[in-house]
Amino acid sequence: MLFFFDPATAPIYPVCPWHALTGWDCPGCGTLRALHQLTHGNWAAAWRLNPLAVALLPVGCWLGLREWVRQVYGIKWPGLVTRPFWGWALAAIVVVFGIVRNLPGFHI
């Protein structure tokens, strides 16, 4: 879907309720557009749309692959990023990113 239908122009994607209500970008705003750009190989454009989502892609891929291996083969890989510290760190990063990206003059 994301390859063929651009979230910037196609009306089939949901609108961010936070952005619609406040006019501010939430930490996830731009993620669908960034993923669309990534499917076309446009890394720089994806980074400009949502750098946090692009930066967290390797972590998401690792967690997805780790879970797939556990489901299919029953082998449990190390859970380095599944410790509570990383969850709290991610929550703090998301909150800080959500604030900073709405500051005047913030552009990547």
Write the CB contacts of 38 (distance below 8 Å, at least 6 apart in sequence).
46, 54, 57
* pLDDT tens string 58-104: 989 988 999 999 999 999 988 777 788 988 999 999 999 999 999 99
* pLDDT tens string 10-39: 999 999 999 999 999 999 999 999 999 999
- Domains of the chain, residue spans: 17-100
43 vs 74: CA distance, rounded Å: 34
